[in-house]
Amino acid sequence: MFSAYIERPVNCRFEGQDTDEKILLLLRAHPITNLSWIAPSVLLFFLPILLPGLFSSAGIDLSFLPPAYGIVFLIINYLLILIIAFEGFLYWYFNVYIVTDKNIVDVDFHSILFKNIDVAPLRNIEDTSSSMGGILNSVFNYGDVFIQTAGATKNIDLHSIPRPHHVADFVLDEAHKIYGRGRDAYHHPD
């Protein structure tokens, strides 16, 4: 369940799911996007090891400080790492996009106390588009998918997901199934 792209996940349900509704895709941001919280956590982890060397090379003597200050610094440092890593992981893990045979569900997890859920019925989908820009996006094959809906239904944007071109095509194909037409319905005979 830690994958960013899962087709037909088993033992997976979401709030508001109909009893006959099947989950076709479960999407999260690509794991490479976690570097934004993993890199600072790693740097902070090694900070207590590097700091004494940096101070001594700069000619700063901290031997006058009581040893309890060092222990307090270590405790604060590792608590900060724990907070950054825990919140980063929760944000990545619980911000999900779900494509079912009836709806597209966008679950935005803002904090432990607040989440936002947007649902767009597949029958309201008019168009999808995808974009990838940058070296990391191209190398790791992730990007954004924009789903345009009809009427008052809110448009859905899927950010930094794996295989964006495939997902955009998949969502549009599922919407066409709802309308009872496949891809060939758009080809006009000459």
pTM value?
A: 0.82
What pLDDT does residue 28 have? 96
Among 6-15, 23-32, 63-72, 171-180, the range with the most confident prediction by mean pLDDT is: 23-32
Terminal Cα-to-Cα distance of the chain (whole angstroms): 48
Stated as kind and residue range, the H or E segment containing 176 is: helix 164-179
Lowest-confidence pick of 25-29, 32-36, 92-96, 174-178: 174-178
| Strand spans (E) along the chain | 5-7, 23-27, 96-100, 103-111, 114-121, 125-131, 142-149, 156-162
| Block residue for tokens 């060092």 | 70
User: In terms of C-beta density within 10 A (0-12 exposed, 13-18 middle, 19 or more buried), how is residue 67 classed?
Assistant: exposed
CA distance 55 to 174: 61
pLDDT at 130: 96
| Statement: residue 181 has pLDDT above 60 | no
What is the rounded distance in angstroms from the CA atom of residue 171 to the CA atom of residue 28? Answer: 15
Q: Determine the average pLDDT of the residues in 164-170.
A: 96
Question: What's the token pair of residue 108?
Answer: 């935005």
Please give the torsion angle defined by the CA atoms of residues 48, 53, 54 and 59, in that order, rounded to the nearest 10 degrees: 130
Q: Is the pLDDT of residue 96 over 90?
A: yes
pLDDT of residue 173: 93
How many of the other CB atoms lie within 10 Å of CB of 59? 6
| pLDDT reported for residue 84 | 95
